[in-house]
Structure 1
Amino acid sequence: MSTIRERNKEMILRAASEEFADKGFAATKTSDIAAKAGLPKPNVYYYFKSKDNLYREVLESIIEPILAASTPFNPDGEPAVVLSNYIRSKIRISRDLPFASKVFASEIMHGAPHLSSQQVEQLNAQAKHNIDCIQSWVDRGLIAAIDPNHLMFSIWAATQTYADFDWQISAVTGKAKLDEADYEAAAQTIIRLVLKGCEPD
């Protein structure tokens, strides 16, 4: 019974991610989510109670891996290793959770109206921790004297691109869907650019 429940919830969550990413919160209908999931509409309400709750669940599904991606960051870590691991984690998120990533990006662009104050605090604290860590490397001469804020913004933009602009990337590369080799090439390219840019003067 629990297996069926979890499977149905996962199907609804995946369908909701796609619908919210495609249409936004306001334009998305629970009937469209149910149809995409291949389940009756009452199931959506049975498992999630409301469209608002379902939207928040989609956001929660992406916030957890975003927070987890920063695990490597610590002042005593090797900058090249920490930054490489972080970039790979962010690419994996865009690869494995592209629709939830788009929903999250849209939420942030609209001022995060559906995020709880606790979630905003967590995300801001994570960003500050990462930035402080980078600044400590700069202060000790382990990396170039670059602005840590803008380094983080650049990494976010470069890795998020593979979720937000997947259609354009597919069109340019001539592939219907990027494969594992493409994401590995993306990770290697971004890592090389970042590490070369961070080399001490």
Structure 2
Amino acid sequence: MHDGVKTRLDTGSNDIDDVDRENESGGPIFVNGGHPIGGKKRRKGKLISLDVPLREQAHRYALFNTNCAQVDELVNEHKVFIDTQPRKSRWAHAQNHSHEFANWLEEKVKSNNVPDHSFWLAKGPSPTSKRYHWYYVNGYRFHTKSRDARCHTQNSGVSITALTPSFESSREKNPAVGNVDYYSRILDIVELDYWSQFKVVLFRCEWYQLGKTSTA
């Protein structure tokens, strides 16, 4: 349905929380358009400790999707640095850029004056996160796949169209870039806590694309 349609769960713009506009230092625009669903206990979420690989993956996604001009500049700076490394394929460059940027950024901010939001973002999330099974975002109700298994209605399905560089194999020198449709079921809803400075809520999904399956 288009944005103007009101439903039982979407009553229009009155349901959208306030928006904090971009700050003077070029920080991200945080849209508080979501909140947990359920009673008081359920809205508190469940405290969890993500294992290191999963926490790094979640933090990596947050870094590359900040909507912050300064962080975007640092992303491009690191990409240029990686591309200057000799005897590396474009596949290796892409992998190194993705997996090494977080550590590079953390060291970078130690020797440079940066806004507070960039400093805390570079520090990475707290080891303790929160897990939810229901979440309401911009007029839509989302459930995890396990929660949907006990319901007559289904609210765990999502889809996106992403501009994606695709490598056929590790030997591919020139990746193809184009729009790719992905379809998914939500496996987990996790709230990352960046040391009480700000929070980032992520959907961990089981993605399907052209017969391929991945979890991210």
Greater fraction of residues in strand: 2
TM-score range for the pair, normalised by the shorter chain length:
under 0.3
TM-score computed with the length of structure 1 as normaliser: 0.21
TM-score computed with the length of structure 2 as normaliser: 0.20
Higher relative contact order (CA 8 A, sep 6+): 1
Greater fraction of residues in helix: 1
